[in-house]
Structures are given as C-alpha cells and as structure tokens.
Amino acid sequence: MTTKTRRPASISHEEVVIELLAKDPAFTLEYLSGLLEDGTTDELLLGLRRVTRAHGGVAKVAAKAKLNPTSLYRTLSAKGNPELRGLTALLGAMGMRLAVQPIPKATRRK
C-alpha cells in the first residue's frame, strides 16, 4: 500500500511564497528585482529572509556563502543593515548577483 503525503487543508501566504521561491528561479529573480526597484529596506530584508528560507535556511546559505550564520541572522533581521559584501555573498550562494541597469527616461527622478 502506498501512502501519500497530504498537504494541510490550508497553507499560510508565507509558506506559499517560500514554496514558489524554492521551485521557480525566474520568480525569485523577479521578486527580488521588484523589491529592489520599488520596495522599502524592510520589504527587501523580508524578501531576502524568504529567499534564504527557500534555499535551505540561514545556516545552509551562510555555509555556502562563507558567512558567519549569526552575522547573517542579524543582517536579515528586521533591524538588519546588509553590507554590499555580505549581500553579494548571500546572493551568490543562491545563484544570483546584483546588477546595474539604466532607468528608462520616462521614470527617472528629476
């Protein structure tokens, strides 16, 4: 007899987002790009926490990025302030990188 693993009748929004981030690298890129473009620092940190969870959690990602897990927990906390070096390492461990792109003239700040 085969036993199927059943999903709970309801799943939180947080868990759905993390599942999507884990399964779809293109979604992850769009998600973080949107937060970088239009989000606040708090929203970006939340997004980075979600992506980190989708990639196995802080301990796993920190090891892959060669970062101290405690420092990474602090960096990704609600009061965190990621440095460029750490952010670059974090994204690199998850197969991504920061990029600079031109802003279309119609949307530039004056």
pLDDT tens digits, 100-109 = 888 888 777 7
pLDDT reported for residue 45: 94
Q: pLDDT tens-digit profile of 72-81?
A: 999 999 888 8
Residues 6+ apart with CB under 8 A from 90: 48, 52, 61, 65, 67, 72, 75, 82
Angle value at C-alpha 32, between 31 and 34, nearest 5 degrees: 70
Judge contact between 87 and 98, C-beta under 8 A: yes
Average pLDDT of the residues in 49-54: 97
- pLDDT (0 to 100) of residue 104: 84
Which value, to the nearest 10 degrees, does the dihedral of the CA atoms of residues 75, 29, 91, 81 take? -20
Token duo for residue 34: 């949107």
Spell out the domain ranges in the chain. Answer: 13-97
